[in-house]
């Protein structure tokens, strides 16, 4: 009888995770201090609200994959939103089929637990699981994004929107704001519907509207004269109200975690690494204004992919690779040294350049970028191939930071030095599941 009760207690252990994409810890602290987020202020008293470090690179596909697997990209295999297809120079957008490690809901399912997973990036197309999943960015088709059919029918019925249509920003910032609001409203409706069922052991939902808000309207945050300033502040009030509503439904007993996948800051300049590589003589194209890396000349020695990944054009690895493996280390070191001298108006752009073996470990580390550049705050590194200048600006006013991501749990824990790779192991531990193979550590 005691063994039965123990097993029942273990089975009933649940966890809730709310992702708030791109939300900086410092911004939440500021809004708490200014009285704009009273619900979050109460939660901060109940538990632990902390700064967190994101993945390298600090891009959503990599960070969310790191969260949902508890391992580094050298094991889960996602280094960015875009890769080259093996054996060619064609673009490829990695998706759920490229995530090579078990997710939290995979692990939960193997232990007889049911998961509901809503809007997590890099989960498209939806895979069968013990529960419900509708994928996040980059999801192209709601039916393919959703498992099972009954969940698809519900989402279709409420006019569910998979993501903000960022093209609205080209129309007007007012149109973009309306789109953000519209998407957020239907996202909240879906989250609360599935949360209300109570038919879950693990509940994971991500709000991505915050990220879209920040990319295009970060400039409106501190400019009270900006036409969208009040919208920006008002959106966070709505987010706070939703956090309060969701927490009231969950209660104090169930572990409640919030996290972001990176921080945000003002973009001073976008930095086009491939243009810099061209000017340094490392990269050539067959035509003056290339369309993609398919136009790369066979004499090219180095190229870059978003956001800050640098690859040597190695013989034997790429169809037209020209860098001899014996020159690998010398070339890497030279690129690193030259990147560290890159300046904009006398200000250093690059804070650090790391070799792949300093960052990644695992069977898929062989596919990792040979170098990753980390910029000083405000310099947004890009992999565009057709920019005429090294430095420029676009419609984006906010960019990612690796530091200043957010972690929250309604428990008193030591969160000093927490990294996003630690959140997955923490969730699984809270659910009473024993699992080996994580790179991160549980905080409980």
Task: Tell me the mean pLDDT in the region 228-237.
Answer: 98
Per-residue pLDDT reduced to its tens digit, 275-315 = 999 999 999 999 999 999 999 999 999 999 999 999 999 99
**pLDDT-based confidence at residue 12 (cuts at 50, 70, 90):** confident
| pLDDT at 9 > cutoff 80 | no
In this prediction, residue 3 carries a pLDDT of: 45
List alpha helices for 52-161, DSSP H. 60-69, 73-76, 104-110, 142-145, 149-157
Task: Tell me the mean pLDDT in the region 187-192.
Answer: 98
| pLDDT at 8 > cutoff 60 | no
Per-residue pLDDT reduced to its tens digit, 134-167 = 999 999 999 999 999 999 999 999 999 999 999 9
Q: Can you tell me the distance from the alpha carbon of 170 to that of 182, in angstroms, rounded to the nearest whole number?
A: 17
Per-residue pLDDT reduced to its tens digit, 388-419 = 999 999 999 999 999 999 999 999 999 999 99
Quick check: helix, strand or coil at residue 209? helix
Per-residue pLDDT reduced to its tens digit, 40-70 = 999 999 999 999 999 999 999 999 999 999 9
Report the b/e string of 373-400 with b at 16+ CB within 10 A: bbbebebbbbbebebeebbeeeebbbbb
Q: Can you tell me the distance from the alpha carbon of 431 to that of 13, in angstroms, rounded to the nearest whole number?
A: 5
| pLDDT at 361 > cutoff 90 | yes
Q: Can you tell me the distance from the alpha carbon of 183 to that of 316, in angstroms, rounded to the nearest whole number?
A: 46
**How many residues does the structure list for the chain?**
444
Q: Calculate the CA dihedral of residues 358, 359, 361, 366 and round it to 10 degrees.
A: -90
């Amino acid at each position: 009888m005691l063994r039965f009760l123990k097993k029942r207690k273990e089975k009933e252990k649940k966890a809730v995770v709310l992702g708030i994409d791109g939300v900086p810890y410092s911004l939440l602290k500021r809004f708490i201090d200014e009285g704009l987020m009273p619900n979050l202020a109460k939660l901060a008293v109940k538990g632990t609200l902390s700064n967190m470090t994101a993945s390298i690179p600090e891009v959503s596909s990599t960070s969310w994959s790191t969260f949902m697997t508890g391992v580094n990209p050298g094991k889960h295999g996602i280094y960015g939103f875009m890769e080259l297809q093996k054996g060619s120079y064609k673009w490829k957008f990695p998706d759920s089929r490229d995530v090579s490690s078990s997710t939290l809901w995979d692990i939960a399912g193997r232990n007889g637990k049911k998961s509901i997973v809503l809007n997590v990036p890099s989960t498209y197309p939806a895979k069968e699981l013990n529960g419900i999943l509708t994928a996040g960015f980059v999801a192209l088709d709601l039916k393919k994004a959703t498992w099972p059919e009954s969940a698809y029918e519900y989402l279709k019925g409420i006019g569910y929107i998979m993501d903000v249509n960022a093209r609205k920003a080209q129309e007007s910032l007012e149109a973009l704001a309306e789109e953000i609001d519209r998407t957020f409203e239907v996202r909240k409706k879906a989250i609360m519907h599935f949360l209300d069922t109570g038919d879950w052991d693990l509940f994971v939902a991500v709000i991505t509207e915050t990220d879209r808000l920040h990319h295009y309207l970060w400039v409106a945050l501190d400019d009270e004269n900006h036409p969208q300033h009040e919208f920006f502040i008002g959106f966070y009030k709505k987010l706070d109200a939703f956090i309060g509503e969701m927490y009231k439904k969950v209660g104090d007993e169930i572990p409640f975690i919030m996290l972001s996948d990176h921080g945000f800051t003002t973009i001073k300049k976008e930095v086009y690494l491939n243009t810099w590589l061209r000017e340094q003589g490392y990269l050539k194209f067959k035509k003056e204004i290339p369309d993609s890396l398919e136009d790369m000349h066979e004499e090219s020695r180095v190229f870059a992919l978003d956001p800050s990944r640098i690859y040597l054009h190695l013989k034997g690895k790429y169809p037209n690779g020209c860098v001899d493996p014996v020159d690998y280390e010398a070339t890497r070191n030279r690129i690193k040294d030259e990147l560290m001298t890159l300046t904009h108006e006398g200000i250093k752009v690059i804070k650090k350049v790391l070799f792949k073996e300093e960052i990644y470990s695992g069977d898929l580390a062989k596919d990792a970028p040979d170098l990753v550049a980390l910029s000083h705050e405000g310099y947004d590194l890009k992999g565009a191939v057709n920019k005429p200048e090294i430095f420029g600006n676009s419609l984006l006013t906010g960019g990612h930071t690796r530091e200043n991501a957010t972690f929250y749990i309604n428990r008193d824990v030591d969160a000093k030095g927490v990294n996003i790779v630690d959140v997955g192991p923490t969730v699984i531990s809270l659910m009473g599941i024993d699992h080996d193979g994580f790179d991160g550590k549980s905080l409980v």
